[in-house]
């Protein structure tokens, strides 16, 4: 699946998007955050406070316990500051 990062999450990870293949044990958005955080120092820094990270699956906001199976695109970003 494709993963996208925005704002300071993007800056900390060091890339805007990538394709990842998490193992089957990674079932929810929260699981994916924990799995990504173990990929290296930059990821650990980006996801050091999981509760502030917002997520969207296929362009719709989702909660941390949402199942990720079937997702084409998952995005992670800080709370929004538009308007």
Partner 1 sequence: MTENVTIRIQEADFDIAREIAALTKGRTDIGAVVSFSGICRGSEGGETIAALTLEHYPGMAEAEIARHADTAMSRWPLTGLTVIHRVGRIVAGENIVLVLTASQHRQAAFAAAEFLMDYLKANAPFWKREETSAGTGWVEAHQHDDDAAARWTKS
Q: Does 24 bind partner 1 (CB under 8 A)?
A: no
Please say whether the beta carbons of 32 and 46 come within 8 A: no
**Minimum CB distance to partner 1, residue 25 (Å):** 28
67 in contact with partner 1 (CB under 8 A): no
Beta carbon nearer to partner 1, 6 or 35: 6
Please, how many CA atoms are within 13 Å of residue 51, restricted to the half-sphere of its CB? 0
Binding stretches for partner 1 (CB under 8 A): 4, 6-8, 56, 59-61, 75, 77-83
């Amino acid at each position: 699946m494709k993963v996208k990062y925005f704002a300071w999450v993007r800056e900390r990870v060091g890339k805007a998007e990538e394709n990842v293949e998490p193992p089957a044990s990674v079932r929810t958005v929260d699981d994916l955050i924990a799995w990504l955080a173990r990929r290296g120092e930059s990821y650990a820094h980006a996801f050091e406070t999981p509760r502030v990270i917002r997520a969207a699956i296929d362009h719709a906001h989702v909660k941390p316990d949402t199942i990720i199976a079937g997702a084409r695109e998952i995005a992670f970003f800080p709370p929004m500051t538009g308007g």
